[in-house]
């Protein structure tokens, strides 16, 4: 059994689950980590809480291993949205982004603009929601200080060309919402200045955990507007002094992180690192190709890219408007879990997606085809 086979076998989601872009069911390692840390907290035996205190460093080291950012430039976040809020509120100047980005990105930019008046969103025209180096180049202005983009677009499944975008934007900050690819895409994170992700999707660590990683340039340029006692300089011996924010990523936090959430996140990332992101991606890519082949077999239009270099784990189906309800009902009746949004059906597979699940998908498509022809 290969390492990726062992990885896949550590999960136990029910057959028919194809909705990892919404949430990735946790596996045995994360469950065991959660139970073990909770047991420590419940007993609070003398000296045992030191283990909880060590989870922050463990989490940062695990993120560093997968992103290449130094661990001292990583800070825990409870969600992608919170990390993006920190980044956008810390900017001064124009930020270029697509209005079709996931709302965590657009809301952060708009809220920062409305609240502080120092950030100006530049709403990009895109290629059907895809931000590419080509369509970005001509829209940047002299006042644009940052570009925000999803590593993998949640609606189209498009895998952004981060290296191409970096070449186009020069020394502007590149802010990446990585949640739809982190853990399954071997991305060049080193070209980004801000990388933010949660752990509830492809990492499969559950809700309430994530990170923000900053380059030296981002640390110098972003202002830690929302920074609490835990993000301040010094060791906090005096409770009567409000200390200035710490330098670097550590400033972008408000209070002590949840050590059990950090432990879950670290355990999931450590498991991924042992297997290797590239091997996990290769397994997922093969499954995505099978899903596209099954859709083609039943003449269901595929709106997401067929090019392996432009996709991750998401397949977007675009049935005719009058056939959407029939397709959704067929999937439901065969126990296939997907996301339906804005006239499309989003199918997302992981390394643990097996032949039984694909057989259920094929059966659902067969029912759809039969009903559509009738």
pLDDT digits (tens, 9 = 90+) for 250-296: 999 999 999 999 999 999 999 999 999 999 999 999 999 999 999 99
The pLDDT value given to residue 28 = 97
Angle CA 149–154–158, to nearest 5: 70
The residues, any chain, with a CB within 8 Å of residue 329's CB and separated by 6 or more, are none
Distance separating alpha carbons of residues 235 and 196, to the nearest angstrom: 26
* Sheet strands side by side (includes 344-348): 314-317, 344-348, 339-341
Domain 3-25+277-373: CATH class, spelled out: alpha beta
Q: Is the pLDDT of residue 332 over 80?
A: yes
Q: In the predicted model, what is the mean pLDDT of the chain?
A: 95
- Span 34-45, average pLDDT: 90
The pLDDT value given to residue 50 = 84
The pTM of this model reads 0.96
- Span 33-41, average pLDDT: 94
Distance separating alpha carbons of residues 365 and 293, to the nearest angstrom: 12
Distance separating alpha carbons of residues 166 and 193, to the nearest angstrom: 10
Task: Return the HEC string of the chain.
Answer: CCHHHHHHHCCCCCCCECECCCCCCCCHHHHHHHHHHHHHHHHCCCCCHHHHHCHHHHHHHHHHHHHCCCHHHEEEECCHHHHHHHHHHCCCEEEEECCCCCHHHHHHHHHHHHHHCCEEEEECCCECCECCHHHHHCCCCCCEEEEEEECECCCCCEECCHHHHHHHHCCCEEEEECCCCCCCCCCCHHHCCEEEEECCCCCCCCCCCEEEEECHHHHHHCCCCCCCHHHECCCCCCCCCCCCECCHHHHCCCCCCCHHHHHHHHHHHHHHHHHCHHHHHHHHHHHHHHHHHHHHHCCCCECCCCCHHHECCEEEECCCHHHHHHHHHHHHHCCCECEEECCEEEEECCCCCCHHHHHHHHHHHHHHHHHHHC
pLDDT digits 0-9 by tens, 118-165:
999 999 999 888 999 999 999 999 999 999 999 999 999 999 999 999
The pLDDT value given to residue 374 = 60
The pLDDT value given to residue 202 = 98
pLDDT digits 0-9 by tens, 292-327:
999 999 999 999 999 999 999 999 999 999 999 999
Determine the topology of domain 28-275 in CATH: 3.40.640
| pLDDT > 70 in the chain, percent | 99
pLDDT digits 0-9 by tens, 161-180:
999 999 999 999 999 999 99
298 contacts 368 by C-beta, under 8 angstroms:
yes
The pLDDT value given to residue 239 = 77
The pLDDT value given to residue 62 = 98
The pLDDT value given to residue 237 = 66
Q: Is the pLDDT of residue 73 over 80?
A: yes
Higher pLDDT, 372 or 133: 133
In the structure, what pLDDT confidence band is assigned to residue 236 with cuts at 50, 70 and 90?
A: low
Distance separating alpha carbons of residues 177 and 9, to the nearest angstrom: 29
Q: How do the domains of the chain map onto residue ranges?
A: 3-25+277-373, 28-275
The pLDDT value given to residue 49 = 81
């Amino acid at each position: 059994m290969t390492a990726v086979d062992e990885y896949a076998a550590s999960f136990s989601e029910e057959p028919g689950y194809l909705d990892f872009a919404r949430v990735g069911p946790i596996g045995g390692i994360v469950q065991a980590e959660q139970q073990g840390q909770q047991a420590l907290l419940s007993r609070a035996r003398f000296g045992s809480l030191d283990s909880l205190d060590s989870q922050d460093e463990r989490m940062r080291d695990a993120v560093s291993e997968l992103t290449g950012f130094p661990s001292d430039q990583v800070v825990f976040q409870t969600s992608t949205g919170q990390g993006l809020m920190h980044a956008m509120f810390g900017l001064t100047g124009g930020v270029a982004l697509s209005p079709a980005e996931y709302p965590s990105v657009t809301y952060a930019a708009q809220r920062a603009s409305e609240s502080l008046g120092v950030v100006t969103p530049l709403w990009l025209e895109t290629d059907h929601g895809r931000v590419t180096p080509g369509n970005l180049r001509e829209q940047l202005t002299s006042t644009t200080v940052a570009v925000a983009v999803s590593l993998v677009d949640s609606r189209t499944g498009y895998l952004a060309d981060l290296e191409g975008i970096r070449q186009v934007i020069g020394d502007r900050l590149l802010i990446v919402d990585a949640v739809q690819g982190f853990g399954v895409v071997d991305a060049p994170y080193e070209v980004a200045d801000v990388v933010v992700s949660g752990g509830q999707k492809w990492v499969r660590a559950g809700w309430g955990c994530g990170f923000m990683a900053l380059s030296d340039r981002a640390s110098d340029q972003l202002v830690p507007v929302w920074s609490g006692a835990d993000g301040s300089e010094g060791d906090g011996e005096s409770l009567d002094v409000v200390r200035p924010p710490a330098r670097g990523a550590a400033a972008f936090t408000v209070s002590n992180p949840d050590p059990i959430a950090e432990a879950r996140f670290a355990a999931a990332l450590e498991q991924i690192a042992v297997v290797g992101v590239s091997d996990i991606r290769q397994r997922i890519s093969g499954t995505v190709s099978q899903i596209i082949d099954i859709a083609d077999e039943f003449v269901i239009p595929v709106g997401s890219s067929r090019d392996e270099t432009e996709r991750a784990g998401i397949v977007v189906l675009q049935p005719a408007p009058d056939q959407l309800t029939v397709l959704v009902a067929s999937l439901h009746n065969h126990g296939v879990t997907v996301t339906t949004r804005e006239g499309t059906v989003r199918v997302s597979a992981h390394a643990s997606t097996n032949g039984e699940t694909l057989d259920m998908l094929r059966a659902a498509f067969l029912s759809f085809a039969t009903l559509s022809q009738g």
